[in-house]
Amino acid sequence: MLNLSIVIGVSLILISKNIILLNEETLILLCFITFCYLGFTKLKDSIVKDFEDQKNKIQVELFESFELISNSVSINLKWQKIFPILITNFANLEIHLKNLSSRMVIQLPFIWNYDIRKKYLKKLVFTKRLEQQISKLIILLLIKKIERVTFLKYFYSTKIKIAPFKCNSQILLRQYIETI
């Protein structure tokens, strides 16, 4: 390295001959150069260590990124091999889906018809049971009415003794005898 006394001597000669002007910019430049020289000479071991650490970090990141890129490229290559198979599979799936939907559309009226038949069958069974119950009820009501009528007829003919009722019973008795 240059001797510090030689550098100072040469710079004093240049300043005295007005080759180097001493103004603020020059003083700042001299301070900066001095700072850099002292920083480099005194801190060079720590700076070298820091640069080595940064170099190692950058190297590790480069290797990791290279691994990621190589993995993604290999995955992309696999997908490119699988992609034509997927396209044919999706085409086959589309054909099957169209067949299924067309058959479903064809069968839909039958299914709907079956559901309607099932519902109407239940309604018809319910209506049949309802008719049976109503017919039983009507028969019971008629029996009650006939019972009342016969009771009243008996009452009028035996207790009150109204002549038209006696006559009616005799006419009915004659009709029964004739039918026998």
Nearest CA to 40 out of 89, 1, 91, 90 is that of 1
pLDDT value at residue 67: 93
pLDDT value at residue 174: 65
pLDDT value at residue 59: 95
Q: Containing domain of residue 44, as a range?
A: 4-179
Structural domain total, the chain: 1
pLDDT value at residue 160: 67
Q: Consecutive sets of 10 residues in the chain, 180 residues long: mean pLDDT of each?
A: 76 83 82 85 84 94 93 86 80 88 82 81 89 90 83 71 62 65
Q: Which residues contact 20 (CB under 8 A, 6 or more apart)?
A: 11, 14, 26
pLDDT value at residue 24: 85
